[in-house]
C-alpha cells in the first residue's frame, strides 16, 4: 500500500510527512495556485519536499505541445531524481510521455477518466496513471468501476494506478480491499484517515488507569528523617 499527499501547503504537509506514513506528494498547477506558489517557486518546493523525506514528488507540466512538454519534463526531472513528471492524457501529452519514458524519465499520466486511457498511458510507457475518482462521479460515470477496470487491465504491467480526486476515506478502504494499492489524498482527508475516536477513548482509559494506584496496593511510606520515621 502506498499513500501520497495531494497538496503544496507546507504547513499542512509538514506534520503529516513527519509520520513517515506517506510516500510522497502529488501536485498540479491548480494545487500550486491554491497554495500561493508561483511557477518559478516550484523548484524550492521540490527541494523542501525532498528534505522532508518524500520518496516521490509528482510535478505537472504546463506546455500545450509535445516538444514543449518533453523539454519541461526534462527540466523537472533535473531538479531531483525523486521527481515524477505528471502529464495530462492528451494526444500531445501521451506523445511526450512516450518520448520521456524512452529517455528514462518516470512519468505519471494524469486526468484519466476512462479505462481506455489507461491502455494508452501504458503504451506511452507511463509508470503511473492518476484517475480522478470524484470527477468521474460528478460526470455521471461509475468511477469505482472504471478504477477497478484500469487495475485489471494494468495488472502485470509496469504501470500502476494512483487514485486521485478522493472525496472520503471510505473510498480508500473499499478500493484497497479490491487490491487497488496507491492513493493520493488531500491533507484534510489524510488527517481523517489517521483519526479514530474509539482508539482515542481507549488511550484515555489507559492513561487514566496508569495514573491510579492498583487495587489493594499499599501507599509508599516515607522513612526519611524528620517525616515520622523511627530513629535510634
pLDDT in tens, 16-33: 999 999 999 999 999 999
SS3 per residue for 187-227: HHHHHHHHCCHHHHHHHHHHHHHHHCCCCCCCCCCCCCCCC
Encode pLDDT of 56-102 as tens digits.
999 999 999 999 999 999 999 999 999 999 999 999 999 999 999 99
| C-alpha cell recorded at residue 213 | 494506584
Any catalytic annotation for residue 86? yes
Tell me the pLDDT of the chain averaged across its residues: 93
Q: Compute φ and ψ for 164, nearest 5 degrees.
A: -120, 175
CA distance 89 to 97: 9
CA distance 79 to 75: 7
| C-alpha cell recorded at residue 20 | 513517515
Query: What structural domains and CATH numbers belong to the chain?
Result: 2-194 (3.20.20.70)
37, 77, 85, 86: which is the annotated catalytic residue? 86
Q: Which residues of the chain have pLDDT under 70?
A: 214, 216-232
**Could you tell me how far CA 59 lies from the centroid of its own chain?**
13
Amino acid at each position: 500500500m502506498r499513500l501520497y499527499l495531494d497538496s503544496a501547503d507546507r504547513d499542512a504537509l509538514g506534520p503529516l510527512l513527519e509520520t513517515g506514513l506517506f510516500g510522497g506528494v502529488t501536485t498540479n498547477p491548480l494545487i500550486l495556485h491554491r497554495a500561493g506558489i508561483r511557477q518559478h517557486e516550484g523548484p524550492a518546493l521540490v527541494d523542501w519536499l525532498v528534505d522532508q523525506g518524500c520518496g516521490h514528488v509528482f510535478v505537472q507540466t504546463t506546455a500545450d505541445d509535445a516538444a514543449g512538454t518533453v523539454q519541461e519534463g526534462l527540466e523537472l526531472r533535473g531538479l531531483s531524481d525523486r521527481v515524477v513528471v505528471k502529464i495530462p492524457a492528451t494526444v500531445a501529452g501521451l506523445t511526450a510521455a512516450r518520448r520521456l519514458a524512452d529517455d528514462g524519465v518516470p512519468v505519471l499520466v494524469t486526468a484519466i477518466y476512462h479505462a481506455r486511457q489507461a491502455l494508452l498511458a501504458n503504451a506511452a510507457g507511463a509508470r503511473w496513471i492518476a484517475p480522478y475518482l470524484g470527477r468521474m462521479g460528478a460526470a455521471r460515470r461509475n468511477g469505482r468501476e472504471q478504477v477497478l477496470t484500469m487495475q485489471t487491465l494494468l495488472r502485470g504491467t509496469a504501470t500502476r494506478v494512483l487514485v486521485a480526486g478522493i472525496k472520503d476515506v471510505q473510498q480508500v478502504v473499499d478500493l484497497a480491499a479490491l487490491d487497488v494499492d496507491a492513493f493520493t489524498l488531500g491533507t484534510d482527508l489524510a488527517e481523517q484517515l489517521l483519526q479514530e475516536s474509539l482508539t482515542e477513548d481507549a488511550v484515555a482509559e489507559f492513561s487514566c488507569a496508569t495514573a491510579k494506584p492498583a487495587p489493594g496496593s499499599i501507599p509508599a511510606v516515607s522513612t526519611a528523617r524528620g517525616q515520622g520515621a523511627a530513629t535510634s
